[in-house]
Structure 1
């Protein structure tokens, strides 16, 4: 999901470089990863599909949509905000995994210490 968000977030730059056909390569990447990672849970597959659908809609707006005159960079902003949301969720998830792993290591160390102290008392 992180790689999908990072590649879609660069779509505005591809348009500026006048290579919007790169969106096709983003689709191919999604299809290939979908086939190769078929072992994922259905909820994760659904979440990834929703992310890709929203990303493609935003990219379609950037490519074919006409933004309001008052906000000429509205679609680029939507892309940046959506991509940032994915990046922020990924960052929060990684922090959760690291902190929960650290806490479980501390608990295991305390249990081992208590077990070794009980063995010393018995001897």
Structure 2
């Protein structure tokens, strides 16, 4: 049973990482439209990703699993392209990036402190 639990944690972590990168990509491609869609998706979606990672990985650092791919994807999409930027050329894109990052920041700030004597 212990090996199965470990397998579920690994699969959950991989899914959380893939969903983090995928949601960043979808949020970035939605930035040319109405501002509430990508900003709301970044806020609610990242809160879901943090919950999912905490539930599946069950470690204090689980927020990193979707957070790092989300940030990496967003930063990569900010870079200049031959057609124009996806995110950095509008306030909607910057608001999407800020809202998503703020959700991860709040998750870090509000996470429970480790109990003494536990790993």
TM-score normalised per structure 2: 0.41
Higher helix share: 1
Structure with the greater alpha carbon radius of gyration: 1
TM-score normalised per structure 1: 0.40
